[in-house]
Amino acid sequence: MRASQARDKKNTPADLYDTLHSGFGWSVPEHFNMARLCMRRWAEDPDRAKQTAVIACAPTLQDQRHSYAELLDQANRLSNALAALGVQRGDRVAIVLPQRFETAVAYMAVLQMGAVGMPLSQLFGPEALEYRLHDSEAVVAICDQPSLPALLGVRDDCPLLRCVIGVDGDGTPEGMRADLDWAALLAQEPAVFSPVDTLAEEAAVLIYTSGTTGNPKGALIPHRALIGNLTGFVCSQNWFGFDPFDATVPSNAVFWSPADWAWTGGLMDALLPTLYFGRPIVAYNGRFSPQTAFELIERHGVTHSFLFPTALKAMMKAVPAPKQRYTFQLEGLMSAGEAVGDAVFAYCRDELGVTVNEMFGQTEINYIVGNCARLYPARPGSMGKGYPGHRVAVIDDNGVECAVGVPGDVAVHRLDVHGDPDPVFFLGYWKNEASTRAKYTGDMANSWCRTGDLATRDADGYLWYQGRADDVFKAAGYRIGPSEIENCLVKHPAVANAAVVPKPDAERGAVVKAYVVLAPGHEAGAALVRELQAHVKGKLAPYEYPKDIEFIDALPMTTTGKVQRRVLRLREEERARQGTVS
């Protein structure tokens, strides 16, 4: 198709879905390294080396642009430093950093030396940190000052953690300092490093994800998974500044998302794909607010973004008519984590000037389903269709595809429509072969991988979300596994038993609610509610603490003694329909 034809179609996209899929096939090389494609190829190109990779922003600091050449220089120095500390190929390195230039440096340094980056949220409390550091057998941790006290507080219980590297260590009180200071460490290392020629199948990232029962599981992500993410990224971002009809047109994309780079949404849906295409990403190290979002988008000419529905709802309420106050250049907007809804969909279209593309994926198999308003119609409220290269279906308990309108488990086949392996798949759960096998129906090499999310398929192939098959839920975009919160609650002396379920919420989609059975000798009351909330906040993450606690004489149980969370979940849904408050 000629460029002139493409220009005519930009505002009235035809449905090119079938064309996209029929002509697509994967090309996965034997050797592949995320850092080489996301950094080195640009930094080593004289025409691209000085282009901006990261725009670092913070509330009290002046914006600073960092080039791909600078990213390579710093990553090489850090790789040399980590090698000197004994970090070897396959070792896990914890990265406990917010959105900032040093975070991008840390990922690139770890990946190019064949080690495994393990992102950890700054929101994690000591208990959450300790479990992940200990279970992963991390040998080095990199953090900045806000995370340092919690990290130092648990290191004695993580015997394999040999070293803590601190960013911004100046002025830190004695006794609360990291083992090594980032700036001093990098300054003494050479800026030349020979990267490891990793296999595409080798592990690159270890991300812990919450489940229904037991502790969080570490999903091991290979280098090739980035390739598997790209079709979804490009489609959901309306081709990310490239012209889908004319390959000679360069991209002008500038990306920003408030999604934490410690999560799949921030790392695999924002940071890595943006760098893969050699474009700048805005790194904002501060709290999200609607006004800040609008200012960042305007100031940096952001063209593409990933915004959770919760963030979009907050922006819509705070600034109902933003185009009267701000100038936008948005060309692509992806949203995920919960349903966008008609009101937010219309707001994005009318006020932000862009059709929001809803997307669906999970850490283990990311970016598999979604919309692409540029090339096929986006239907409000729909999860979209399977992205190119992914064979997606709604299946029943026996692995048979469900008929139109019949609910089933959203699943992705290990092989694409041409019979080639789909590179998007994770390697498995860290030290948990049983859970890995349970994820698949039949032979793992030639089978469906279940997401655990229920949906229906309409006659046109669009998927419509129906809920989770298990008890995991999303609250304000965060994936919540009830088990970890329940385990934390029962450690409090006042709690005999607890069950955690989602409580419907107009702003966040859902909030965390805990049903608590009191231990003998304790009385319910507002003071105890606050005490239990603080207890969870101090040990896990702020987004995991129960916003609502209801005391109950006994939890609903199965005959085998398992808590029936579904009964409590349905109770909350019924209360929401009736408009009653517990």
Do residues 306 and 270 lie in contact, with contact meaning Cβ atoms separated by under 8 Å? yes
- 184-201 as b/e: b if 16+ CB within 10 A: ebbeebeeebebbebbbe
Do the two domains 36-51+64-223 and 473-578 of this chain adopt the same fold? no
- Greater model confidence, 207 or 445: 207
How much is the pLDDT for 580? 63
CA distance 533 to 514: 10
Return the HEC string of 538-550.
Answer: HHCCHHHCCCEEE
Size of the chain, expressed as the number of residues it contains:
582
CA distance 172 to 75: 24
Q: Which residue has the tokens 């072969």?
A: 433
Q: Are 54 and 106 in contact (CB under 8 A)?
A: no
CATH number 3.40.50.2000 given to 473-578: no
The amino acid that residue 335 corresponds to is S
Task: Output 20 or 335, whichever has higher pLDDT.
Answer: 335
Check if the beta carbon of residue 255 is closer than 8 Å to that of residue 302: yes
573 sits in which H/E element: helix 565-578
pLDDT for residue 119: 98
Please tell me the predicted confidence (pLDDT) of residue 4.
32
CB neighbour class for 170 (10 Å; exposed up to 12, middle 13-18, buried from 19): exposed
In 3-state terms, what secondary structure has residue 499? Answer: strand
The residue that leads in pLDDT, 85 or 314, is 85
Residue 130 φ then ψ, to 5°: -60, -45
Return the biggest CA–CA distance within the chain: 77
**117 has pLDDT over 90:** yes
Residue 5 has pLDDT above 60, yes or no: no
Q: Determine how many CB atoms are found less than 10 A away from the CB of residue 129.
A: 28
How large is the angle between the packed helices 101-112 and 68-84, nearest 10 degrees? Answer: 60
Confidence of residue 46 (pLDDT cuts 50, 70, 90): very high
pLDDT score recorded for residue 562? 60
How far is it, in rounded angstroms, from Cα 107 to Cα 101? 10
For the chain, percent of residues with pLDDT exceeding 70: 95
Query: Which pTM does this prediction carry?
Result: 0.85
User: What is the assigned CATH class of domain 36-51+64-223?
Assistant: alpha beta
Predicted pLDDT of residue 572: 93
Q: What is the mean pLDDT of residues 289-294?
A: 96
Give the number of other Cβ atoms within 10 Å of residue 212's Cβ.
14
Q: What is the DSSP string of 63-102?
A: EEEEEHHHHHHHHHHHHHHHHHTT--TT-EEEEE--SSHH
pLDDT tens-digit readout, 372-396: 999 999 988 899 999 999 999 999 9
Distance of CA 397 to the CA centre of its chain: 28
CB-CB neighbours of 333 under 10 Å: 25
Q: How far is CA 440 from the centre of its chain?
A: 22
Distance CA 334, CA 306 (A): 5
Q: How far apart are CA 19 and CA 518, in angstroms?
A: 60
At residue 169 the predicted structure's pLDDT band, cuts being 50, 70 and 90, is confident
Eight-state DSSP code of residue 192: -
Q: Where are the domains of the chain?
A: 36-51+64-223, 473-578
Q: Which residue has the higher pLDDT, 474 or 113?
A: 113
Residue-wise pLDDT for 187-205, tens only, equals 999 999 999 999 999 999 9
Smallest Cα–Cα separation from 451: which of 434, 467, 430? 467
Listed residue (460, 365, 459, 345) closest to 413, CA to CA: 365
β-partners of residue 386 are 369
Q: What is the pLDDT of residue 170?
A: 64
pLDDT at 184 over 70: yes
* Cα torsion angle, 127, 128, 129, 132, sign: positive
What is the C-alpha separation between 437 and 440, in angstroms, rounded? 6
Check if the beta carbon of residue 514 is closer than 8 Å to that of residue 552: no
List, edge to edge, every strand of the sheet that includes 163-167: 180-181, 163-167, 140-144, 92-96, 116-119, 203-209, 217-222, 428-429
What was the pLDDT predicted at 6?
A: 36
Query: Residue 487: what pLDDT?
Result: 77
Q: Name which of 13-17, 307-311, 391-395 the model is least confident about.
A: 13-17
What is the arithmetic mean of pLDDT over 313-325?
Answer: 91
pLDDT in tens, 484-533: 898 789 889 999 888 999 999 988 889 999 999 998 899 999 999 999 99
Q: Which two tokens stand for residue 530?
A: 């606050």
What token pair was written down for 561? Answer: 């003694």
Listed residue (270, 337, 283) closest to 308, CA to CA: 337
Q: What gap in Å lies between CA 298 and CA 57, rounded to an integer?
A: 14
Token duo for residue 261: 């780079």
Look up residue 492 and give its DSSP letter.
S
Supply φ then ψ for residue 113, to 5 degrees.
-100, 5
**Contact assessment for residue 449 and residue 390, using Cβ atoms and an 8 Å cutoff:** no
Per-residue pLDDT band at 565 (split at 50, 70, 90): confident
Distance (Å, whole) CA 71 – CA 54: 8
CA distances from 295 to 59, 60, 152, 219, 327 (A): 12, 15, 36, 35, 9
Residue labelled with tokens 């960013």? 167
Beta bridge mates, 117: 93, 205
Q: Supply the Cα-derived Rg of the chain in whole angstroms.
A: 24
What's the rounded Cα separation, in Å, for the pair 465 and 303? Answer: 28
453 DSSP β-pair partners: 468
Q: Is the pLDDT of residue 158 over 70?
A: yes
pLDDT score recorded for residue 112: 98
Per-residue pLDDT at 223? 98
> Are 126 and 149 spatial neighbours (Cβ–Cβ below 8 Å)?
no
Counting residues of the chain whose pLDDT is more than 90, the rounded percentage is 74
HSE at residue 246, side-chain half, CA atoms within 13 A, is 15
